[in-house]
């Protein structure tokens, strides 16, 4: 591939500067469904320097509403500061003085990589025409990015939640290209509980009158109420009842009286997080990615979960959260039991539930540092 088709990446680019890789000369990108797109763009960011042997590259995979901006301040192309600021950076657990860190925005996403809001060759947003997307489709595109960066084998692949799904898929589907695997707060396949949550979130978005079957981009409106409700459903499962009780209990929102139509503080909290996401994220992307997570199953067409996990060759660290009600420790225990190269399960103690894989930096840092040196 010519230099022009390496996107805008250059060794030594400014850390956290969003770059783009365009896949088009090798033919259409074909999804598992058989649908294809003639041109696909990947937004990604890098930190650190790729060494001469190209052996120090670490792939960091973001979760559902994350993006390529794993570290650094908010800026063009990333409306929020880095989602793992305390983990990735000079001298931190994922040390960018030592490793070349790559974080791509996921296929179907809403922050630069081709997704439902992207324009087709006629300048029309894909909307409802965007193909059904799976975790395997997302990883296939990341493989193309790795090829163009000249990375034959990742020093490590790290991911939590939806990012953990992609990390597992890398280790199973491309086992010779992953030396170390770090998986946080996820399981080998989506459970009925997880599928139930995802489907309810999708229904909330589709029930919004402004959704218009997914083709709302030219209307001047967007299904923000549906997306806000979907996020509220998610936020309820990402945290814990103990945390909610300690923080909010039955306290009314300041200046409001629930018996007179006002809100409780917990209601205001959920509305706030929903509205905050609706300002920066695309509803169609939320649908596409939620359904991709529902389809997650590393054992599909591979002889089952045990057979698939048994093929992993990477030195593996699995991290779970003791209060995670969405991805409970039992799911991580299965991974440790079935992956031959897995170290004993590492457990983060937290009242913050599933979100602890983003928030408990003081506990996660040492675990990740050890995982990268094992």
- Say yes or no to pLDDT of 73 above 60: yes
What is the pLDDT at residue 2? Answer: 28
Q: What are phi and psi of 295, to 5 degrees?
A: -80, -10
- Rounded to whole angstroms, the Cα distance separating 8 from 126 reads 25
What is the pLDDT at residue 16? Answer: 63
The answer for residues whose C-beta is within 8 angstroms of residue 283's C-beta and 6 or more apart is 205, 208, 211, 216, 222, 223, 224, 226, 227, 230
- Say yes or no to pLDDT of 48 above 70: yes
Q: Is 25 a catalytic site residue?
A: no
- Rounded to whole angstroms, the Cα distance separating 53 from 150 reads 10
What is the pLDDT at residue 15? Answer: 55
- Rounded to whole angstroms, the Cα distance separating 83 from 71 reads 6
Q: Other CB atoms closer than 10 Å to residue 246's CB: what's the count?
A: 10
List the domain boundaries for the chain. Answer: 3-190+296-372, 194-293
Q: For residue 372, what pLDDT band results from cuts at 50, 70 and 90?
A: very high
What is the pLDDT at residue 238? Answer: 97
In this structure, are residues 311 and 338 in contact, taking their beta carbons and an 8 Å threshold?
Answer: no
What is the pLDDT at residue 7? Answer: 35
Q: For residue 252, what pLDDT band results from cuts at 50, 70 and 90?
A: very high
In this structure, are residues 155 and 54 in contact, taking their beta carbons and an 8 Å threshold?
Answer: no
Q: Is 374 a catalytic site residue?
A: no
Q: Please tell me which residue in 69, 148, 295, 354 is annotated as part of the active site.
A: 354
- Rounded to whole angstroms, the Cα distance separating 374 from 165 reads 22
Q: Please tell me which residue in 117, 118, 161, 228 is annotated as part of the active site.
A: 161
Q: What are phi and psi of 165, to 5 degrees?
A: -60, -45
Q: What is the DSSP letter of 120?
A: -
Higher pLDDT, 25 or 275: 275
Q: Please tell me which residue in 273, 324, 350, 351 is annotated as part of the active site.
A: 324
**Tens of pLDDT, residues 199-212:** 999 999 999 999 99
- Say yes or no to pLDDT of 5 above 90: no
- Say yes or no to pLDDT of 9 above 90: no
User: For the structural domain made of 3-190+296-372, what CATH number should be given?
Assistant: 3.40.50.1820
Domains 3-190+296-372 and 194-293 share a fold: no
> Percent of the chain beyond pLDDT 70?
96
The arithmetic mean of pLDDT across residues 26-30, rounded, is 89
Query: Which run of H or E residues covers position 332?
Result: helix 329-338
What is the pLDDT at residue 6? Answer: 33
**Tens of pLDDT, residues 121-164:** 999 999 999 999 999 999 999 999 999 999 999 999 999 999 99
- Say yes or no to pLDDT of 1 above 60: no
Q: Which CATH architecture has domain 194-293?
A: Orthogonal Bundle (1.10)
The arithmetic mean of pLDDT across residues 187-197, rounded, is 98
What is the pLDDT at residue 131? Answer: 98
In this structure, are residues 327 and 345 in contact, taking their beta carbons and an 8 Å threshold?
Answer: no
- Say yes or no to pLDDT of 98 above 50: yes
Rounded alpha-carbon distances, angstroms, from residue 331 to 11, 63, 328, 360: 39, 17, 6, 20
Q: Coil, strand, or helix at residue 95?
A: strand
Task: List, as one string, the DSSP characters of 341-359.
Answer: TBPPPEEE--SSGGGHHHH
In this structure, are residues 167 and 339 in contact, taking their beta carbons and an 8 Å threshold?
Answer: no
- Rounded to whole angstroms, the Cα distance separating 166 from 146 reads 14
- Rounded to whole angstroms, the Cα distance separating 85 from 73 reads 9
Q: Is the pTM of this model over 0.85?
A: yes
Q: Is 324 a catalytic site residue?
A: yes
Q: Show the tokens assigned to 258.
A: 């629930």
**Tens of pLDDT, residues 279-330:** 999 999 999 999 999 999 999 999 999 999 999 999 999 999 999 999 999 9
- Rounded to whole angstroms, the Cα distance separating 227 from 210 reads 11
What is the pLDDT at residue 78? Answer: 80
**Tens of pLDDT, residues 222-249:** 999 999 999 999 999 999 999 999 999 9
What is the pLDDT at residue 57? Answer: 98
Q: For residue 374, what pLDDT band results from cuts at 50, 70 and 90?
A: confident
- Say yes or no to pLDDT of 77 above 50: yes
- Say yes or no to pLDDT of 18 above 80: yes
Query: In the predicted model, what is the mean pLDDT of the chain?
Result: 94
């Amino acid at each position: 591939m010519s230099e022009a088709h390496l996107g805008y990446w250059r060794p030594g680019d400014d850390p956290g500067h969003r770059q783009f890789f365009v896949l088009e000369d090798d033919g259409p990108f074909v999804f598992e469904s058989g649908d294809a797109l003639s041109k696909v763009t990947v937004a990604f960011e890098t930190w650190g320097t790729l060494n001469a042997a190209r052996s120090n590259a670490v792939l960091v995979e973001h979760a559902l509403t994350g993006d390529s901006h794993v570290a650094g301040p908010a800026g063009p192309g990333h409306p929020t500061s880095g989602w793992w600021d305390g983990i990735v950076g000079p001298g931190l657990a994922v040390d960018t003085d030592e490793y070349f860190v790559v974080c791509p925005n996921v296929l179907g996403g809403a922050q630069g990589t081709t997704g439902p809001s992207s324009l087709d060759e006629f300048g029309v947003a894909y909307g409802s025409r965007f193909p059904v997307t799976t975790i395997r489709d997302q990883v296939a595109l990341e493989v193309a990015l790795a090829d163009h960066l000249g990375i034959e084998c990742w020093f490590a692949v790290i991911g939590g939640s939806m990012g953990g799904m992609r990390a597992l898929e890398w280790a199973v589907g491309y086992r010779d290209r992953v030396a170390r695997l770090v998986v946080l707060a996820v399981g080998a396949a989506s459970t009925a509980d997880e599928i139930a949550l995802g489907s309810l979130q999708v229904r909330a978005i589709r029930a919004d009158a402004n959704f218009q079957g997914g083709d709302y981009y030219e209307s001047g409106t967007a299904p923000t109420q549906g997306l806000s409700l979907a996020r509220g459903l998610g936020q309820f499962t990402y945290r814990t009842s103990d945390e909610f009780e300690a923080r909010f209990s039955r306290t009314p929102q300041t200046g409001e009286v629930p018996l007179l139509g006002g809100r409780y503080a917990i209601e205001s909290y959920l509305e706030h997080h929903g509205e905050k996401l609706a300002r920066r994220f695309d509803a169609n992307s939320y649908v596409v990615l939620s359904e991709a997570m529902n389809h997650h199953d590393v054992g599909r067409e591979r002889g089952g979960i045990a057979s698939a996990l048994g093929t992993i060759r990477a030195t593996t660290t699995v991290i779970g959260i003791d209060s995670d009600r969405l991805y409970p420790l039992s799911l991580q225990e299965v991974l440790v039991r079935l992956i031959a190269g897995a170290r004993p399960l590492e457990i983060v103690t937290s009242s913050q539930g599933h979100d602890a894989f983003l928030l408990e930096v003081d506990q996660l840092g040492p675990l990740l540092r050890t995982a990268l040196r094992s």
